[in-house]
Amino acid sequence: MKQNYTFRKLINDLHLWVGLPSAIILFIMCLTGTMYVFQREITQWVDSNKFMVHVPANARALPLAELSKRVKVEKEGRISNIQIAQHANEAWTFGLSTIDKEAKPELETEGPNAGKPKIKEKTTSYLVDPYTGNIQGDAKTPTTEFFATVLQMHRWLLMEHDLGGVITGTAAFMMLFLTISGLILWFPAKIKSWKNSHFWKQGFKIKTDGSWKRLNFDMHKALGFYAFVFVTIMAITGPYFAFDWYKKNFSGALGTVPLNKNNTLESKLLTASQKPLDLNAIVANVNKIYPYSGSVKLALPKDSIGSIAVQKAASGFITSAAIDRVTLDQYSGEVLKLDRYADKTTGEKIVASVKFIHTGELFGTFSKIIYFIAALIATSLPVTGFFIWLNKRKSAKGKPTRHAVPANVNARTSFPKRPKPNSQPA
C-alpha cells in the first residue's frame, strides 16, 4: 500500500536536493573560511621578521612625525594612514599613497573638478619598527598573498566579483535552508519519542564501534547539531557582503542603516599658514576619549581642509573586537564626530560588527577558536551528506524486486508440489 507523502518526507527530499547541487560550493566556502580564521596570527608567525620587532629596555617609540618623514623620504609618496599596534612587540603600519599610472583614465562627475581627469591613487603598506624607524619591508608577503587568494576564493570563487558574489551569496542562502531543515530532521518524527532517552543518546553521540556507514551518519547528524548555531550565524551574515539589497534590508530589519565609512567632514582652516596638529597630540586626544589599550588607526586627510578619521579597537583572548570611531579637526584636535560603540543600539552594534560576527572575531581569540571548530564541522557536512545519499542509493539498487501476488491467490498452494523421492504415482 502506498504511503502518504508526509511533511517530514518533503523536508528530507528538499534537504537532499538543495544539498547535492550546492555541496561542492559550500565545501569550498567552508574550507576557505576555516583556513582564514587565524590568518593574522599565522602571518605574524611566518613573517615575524617583518611583523614583529625587538622591544628595547626603555620601549619608547619615536614621534609619528619623524617616522612618517622617514617613510616618505625613502619610499616617496603621501602618508594616507597609520596603524599603531596594540602590543609593544608589533611593527607599526604606514600606508603610502602614490598616483596609480596604470589605472584607466576617468573624469570627475561632481564638484568643482567636474570634467577634469580623476586622480587615482594606490596605497602600499610598509611595516616600520617604531623604536628605530627602520622600514622592515612591504606588508605584502607570500603569506598575505596566499590568504588574499583564500579570501577571494571564499567570497568570489576566484571569479569576477559580481558573478562570484551572486554564486556564493546564493550558496549562503542554501546553507541557511540546510541548517534549518537539518535541525527539523534531527528531531524524532513522533513527539512521544522525545521522551525516549535512547533517541537523545543517538542524537548527541557518535557510534565509533559501528560500521563506517553508521559512523558517517552519526557524524553528519550529531556534529551538524553541535555546529548549528554558529553555522546558521555564518549563513545569515554571509549574504551581507554579496548583495546590496540584502545589506539594506538586513540593516533595516534591525532599525538602522549600513555603516557609512566615508569621511566628508572638514577641518577649520583659519589661516593659510596654519599647520596641522602634531600626530602624537591627535593620538593623545583619542586615548583620552577612549582610555583603554588597543590599536589605533589614523586615516589622514588628502588636503588642507580634510579631517582625521580615527578607529580604535582592542584584541585579546576574550576581548570585544568592536571598533570605536572619532573624527577630529586636523588643526585643533576638536572632536567633529564621536561614534562610540557602547552608545549604539543593539541593531546598530550588530550592523557595525557584522564582519566580526561572520568571521568569529567579535570576542577575541576565544570566539575564533569556536568558529574555527564550527567551520571545520561545516566543511565536513557536505562530504558526510554526500556519502549518506550515495549509501542509500546503493542500498536501493541492491534490493531485490518484489512481485505482487494477487490477494485471492494462496501463495503456499498456487504452485504444484514437487513429489518426494520414493513416492509411487497414484
Question: What's residue 364's pLDDT?
Answer: 92
d(CA 355, CA 358): 5
Note the pLDDT of residue 270.
82
- Distance between CA atoms of residues 233 and 254, nearest Å: 15
Beta bridge partners of 90: 52
**The pLDDT value given to residue 319:** 86
Reduced to 3 states (helix: H, G, I; strand: E, B; else coil), residue 324 is strand
pLDDT of residue 193: 59
* pLDDT of res. 191: 59
Average pLDDT per 10 consecutive residues for the chain, totaling 426 residues: 77 93 95 96 96 91 95 90 96 91 66 64 93 94 97 96 95 97 84 60 77 90 94 97 96 92 85 88 96 96 93 91 94 94 95 94 94 97 93 75 50 49 48
In the block, cell 509411487 appears at 424
Q: How far apart, in whole angstroms, are the C-alpha atoms of residue 193 and residue 185?
A: 13
Q: Please tell me the predicted confidence (pLDDT) of residue 207.
A: 82
Phi, psi values for residue 78, rounded to 5°: -105, 130
Q: Is 5 left (phi over 0), alpha (psi -120 to 50) or beta?
A: beta
